[in-house]
Amino acid sequence: MSFKDFIKNEFPSFNDEVNFKEDVLIKDKNQSEFTLSLPIYLNKTITKERIKTGKENLKAWETQLAKIHKVWGVPPEVIIAIWGIETNFGEKLGTYRVVDTLATLAFGAEGEQRKALFKSELSALEEIKNKKGIEIDNLFGSWAGAFGHMQFMPTTFLKFSYPFEHKKPPNIWKKNNPLDSFASAAHYLNAMGWVRDGFILRKISKPSEMDYLEAGLSLGTQNGLIAPLGHSGPHFEFDMNASAIFHYNRSELYVFGVWILSSALIRAPKEILWPKNRERIGASEVRVMQKQLTLLGYNTFGIDGKFGFNSKKALIDFQKDVKQTPDGHPDRSILKKLLSQPSP
């Protein structure tokens, strides 16, 4: 089926206004190959300029942010930190027409599950257009279809967008007025379990005993421990607020970024010493790791380049057998150890 036939058959209301974007599919295919380590991500994200601009915006929107804090419980510095990371304080709202990107991904993304995801987002955009009366022809966002100051997907907009001053519908993409975006982000975090006066992360001493298999953030965890660079790096505890941010963007790196940037907006930036040479490997090397683990009898239940629970458990079982600390951290040193093992 051609792209035009796909749109005509499944989304006829978009039939004459959608363009196929090949570069979107290329970006989608390649995104998992490039994995930043946490220290590198933080160096790119928490810059002096971003902290300075964040503080200026914290002051400029002080009164409105205080009102949002009172209603939803989310502190002003957290809202500003998310704004800074998502769109550099509204400077980069995106250059792709949202309808084009979502239609392209709904048609051509890899895997039926991913196609279904973007079909649901395109259906939500259709509802935004037809039921909310919002003009979407000139709605621009990221290559993946997120839009507005805080980068909401259409389904998120329908469920969680919220007007700052009770006007309908919320306008989260108005260039010079981010207030509806601020209120919407706070509403979302509150719905995900944000705890007023709670915490996101706390650095702790390394526990004498720790189950690294259960450590880390996931959609099903509300609190726990995390060691992002394995047993030799710093350890942290997290609570409901970290979980809420993880729902907003399902990346541990992102949660750390919001935590550190929001803290830097109200006090001196956090100084954290990260161990060298413990960066996580990328997707192509994860596939090599999964293949070798499976060959050695440690079942990863698939070779897909995604280091999830099953791959982590397999790696921990291997580490136990070779008398290494079983932290399940996929870096190049453990990959080298794996590849040095004789074939069974």
Tokens found for residue 235: 């350890």
- Chain centroid to Cα 181, Å, comes to 17
- For residue 112, the model assigns a pLDDT of 92
- For residue 130, the model assigns a pLDDT of 85
- For residue 33, the model assigns a pLDDT of 56
Phi, then psi, of 96 in degrees rounded to 5: -100, 135
Contact 152, 172 (CB under 8 A): yes
Task: Kindly give, in sequence order, each residue whose CB lies less than 8 Å from that of residue 109, ignoring residues fewer than 6 positions away.
Answer: 25, 28, 115, 117, 118
- For residue 32, the model assigns a pLDDT of 57
The domain locations on the chain are: 1-34+94-147, 36-90+190-278, 283-339
Say if residue 330 is exposed, middle or buried (CB neighbours under 10 Å; 0-12, 13-18, 19+). Answer: buried
d(CA 292, CA 269): 41
Contact 39, 274 (CB under 8 A): yes
How would you write the pLDDT of the chain (344 residues) with one tens digit per residue? Answer: 899 999 999 998 887 789 999 999 999 887 755 577 899 899 999 999 999 999 999 999 999 999 999 999 999 999 999 999 999 999 999 999 999 999 999 999 988 999 999 999 999 999 998 878 788 888 999 999 999 999 999 999 999 999 998 777 899 999 999 999 999 999 999 999 999 999 999 999 999 999 999 999 988 888 999 999 999 999 999 999 999 999 999 999 999 999 999 999 999 877 888 998 888 898 899 999 999 999 999 999 999 998 999 999 999 999 999 999 999 999 999 999 999 999 87
Long-range contacts formed by 208-216: CB under 8 A, 24+ apart: 210/235, 212/316, 212/326, 212/327, 212/328, 212/329, 213/309, 213/312, 213/313, 213/316, 213/326, 213/328, 216/252
- Does the 36-90+190-278 domain belong in CATH 3.30.420.40? no
